[in-house]
Amino acid sequence: MNEYDSSRMADLLHEAYGLRLVGSAEDADVILMNTCSVREKAEDKVYSELGRYREIKLERPDVIIGVGGCVAQQEGERIQKRAPFVDMVFGPQAYHKLPEMVKQIRRERVHLLATDMPEIEKFDHLPKASHGGFAAFVTIMEGCDKFCTFCVVPYTRGPEISRPVEDVLRECREVLAAGALEITLLGQNVNGYLGTGPDGEEWDFSMLLYAVARLEGLKRLRFFTSHPMEVNEGLVEAFAELPVLMPFLHLPVQSGSDRILKAMHRGHDREHYIKLVEAIREARPDIAISSDFIVGFPGETDEDFADTLDLVRRVRFDTAFSFNYSPRPGTPASKVADSVPQAVKDARLQELLAVLRQQTREFHHAHIGRVEEVLVERPSKSEGDMQGRTPDFKIVHFAGKPDQVGQLVQLRITGAYGQSLRGELTHE
């Protein structure tokens, strides 16, 4: 989502003033940092990176420095107190104001703060997306109303707002006309989408999927990130019925312990999650399931953690992102003592990662010998190799040519590693 937001900021400033992206901050007239505050580490990075920009500002006082995104929303003017050389601080709901802010700073050399969360749709103020790539992102909803007790997102990104169906379809048609083969629909809780349809009725996420899937020229449809409580029958059916919907689902579960799931305010128990994955796999047997885990949530006991390991063994995940719990300011969980000692958190995280890595290896290994359609993304790091993604989102390296970027090729999978697969072009 942040990558998408960053590219829209670049689009905006390009349209307003012809600004274009440059390779390094040292060459820039405007430096924007788009930040994440989901874990403390990401937030710490903001201040260390700002140290670098301070040097640039000392050398070139005319450079405009802005901090946007969730850390900006949360920290507000504290950022300018700690780093007075920052010209503007703007939250995720305010980036459509960038051209105006840049203009004002150039003219008046003022410090600006834009962290209010207006009801207006920032989408209405954005220029046409300029993607033009073979893989495009389209935001369909923003914000989150779930208020999981550990999570800062509802406070920084505000309440859930869904774009009207017609707006989403129009943007999808535009990126397809500009050459996209793959569209990824984005949202904090993408399957919580509830947008006004052309018939004046509220459309849910699966209805939107069916409409996007019908668009001319679309070869691959993906979405991120979904919440287990928003998976309904329509979505399960969409996986069974829409071949263009790729067989990959990122479905964060966070914990396998009922007690912890309740304390996290996730709205479901472990059995519900396990049954959900069973139903989805029944609808789409080749689907890859990925997830997020938080280890060391306040009050997590050895038994709770054992339940997480047990859920992982029962479900079996293609991939997963696992994190140590990080207390976030203002969240309910941060007001409870962070009771799990760091050494215990670390040990649990390592144990969980070991199980998950083994599962990834097994899923990767099962691909050997298969012929997969791969969308070629870029040259890979090793000389003469290209890399792309299988329908189930696995990275494949193969001997190819740069002019294959953006094409769908058939590869026979010949090798499996921890993070990726190896393949060769078939001649069929």
Which residues contact ligand SF4 (rule: CB under 6 A)? 144, 146-148, 151, 153-154, 188-189, 227
Q: What number of other Cβ atoms are within 10 A of residue 175's Cβ?
A: 26
Burial class of residue 6 in the structure, from the number of CB atoms within 10 Å of its CB (0-12 exposed, 13-18 middle, 19+ buried): middle
**How many Cα atoms occupy the beta-carbon half-sphere of 308 within 13 Å?**
29
- DSSP conformation class of 285: T
Question: What does DSSP say about strands 30-35 and 64-69: parallel, antiparallel, or unpaired?
Answer: parallel
- DSSP conformation class of 127: P
Residue 49 or 230 with smaller CB distance to ligand SF4: 230
Shortest Cβ 97–ligand SAM spacing (Å): 24
* Angstrom distance (rounded) from CA 322 to CA 39: 12
Express the helix, strand and coil content of the chain in percent, nearest 5 each: 40, 20, 35
Residue 115 binding ligand SAM, by CB under 6 A: no
CB 221 within 8 A of CB 228: no
Contacted entry of ligand SAM, ligand SF4, none for residue 294, CB cut-off 5 to 8 Å set by kind: ligand SAM
Contacted entry of ligand SF4, ligand SAM, none for residue 325, CB cut-off 5 to 8 Å set by kind: ligand SAM
Contacted entry of ligand SAM, ligand SF4, none for residue 158, CB cut-off 5 to 8 Å set by kind: none
Residue 168 binding ligand SAM, by CB under 6 A: no
Q: Which stretches of 263-383 are assigned E, i.e. beta strand?
A: 288-295, 319-324, 371-379
Site for ligand SAM in 27-46 (CB under 6 A): 38-39
Residue 96 or 328 with smaller CB distance to ligand SF4: 328
Candidates 328, 345, 364, 389: give the one binding ligand SAM (CB under 6 A).
328
* Angstrom distance (rounded) from CA 244 to CA 231: 19
Shortest Cβ 198–ligand SAM spacing (Å): 28
Shortest Cβ 124–ligand SF4 spacing (Å): 24
Shortest Cβ 188–ligand SF4 spacing (Å): 5
Q: What is the 3-state secondary structure (H, E, C) of 160-195?
A: CEECCHHHHHHHHHHHHHCCCCEEEEECCCHHHCEE
Contacted entry of ligand SF4, ligand SAM, none for residue 417, CB cut-off 5 to 8 Å set by kind: none
Shortest Cβ 334–ligand SF4 spacing (Å): 13
* Angstrom distance (rounded) from CA 400 to CA 411: 11
Shortest Cβ 80–ligand SF4 spacing (Å): 27
Candidates 241, 292, 351, 373: give the one binding ligand SAM (CB under 6 A).
292
Shortest Cβ 145–ligand SF4 spacing (Å): 8
Residue 421 binding ligand SAM, by CB under 6 A: no
Contacted entry of ligand SF4, ligand SAM, none for residue 323, CB cut-off 5 to 8 Å set by kind: ligand SAM
Candidates 227, 281, 284, 348: give the one binding ligand SAM (CB under 6 A).
227
Site for ligand SAM in 235-274 (CB under 6 A): 252, 254
Residue 147 or 417 with smaller CB distance to ligand SF4: 147
Residue 227 or 397 with smaller CB distance to ligand SF4: 227
Residue 157 binding ligand SAM, by CB under 6 A: no
CB 285 within 8 A of CB 241: no
Q: Which sign does the torsion angle of CA 332, 153, 224, 323 carry?
A: negative
Residue 134 binding ligand SAM, by CB under 6 A: no
| CA triple 332-335-340, angle to 5 deg | 105
| CA triple 399-401-405, angle to 5 deg | 110
From residue 413, alpha-carbon distances to 274, 360, 374, 382, 396 in Å are 30, 16, 11, 18, 8
Residues found near ligand SAM in the complex (CB under 6 A): 38-39, 150-151, 153, 188-189, 225, 227, 252, 254, 292, 294, 323, 325-326, 328
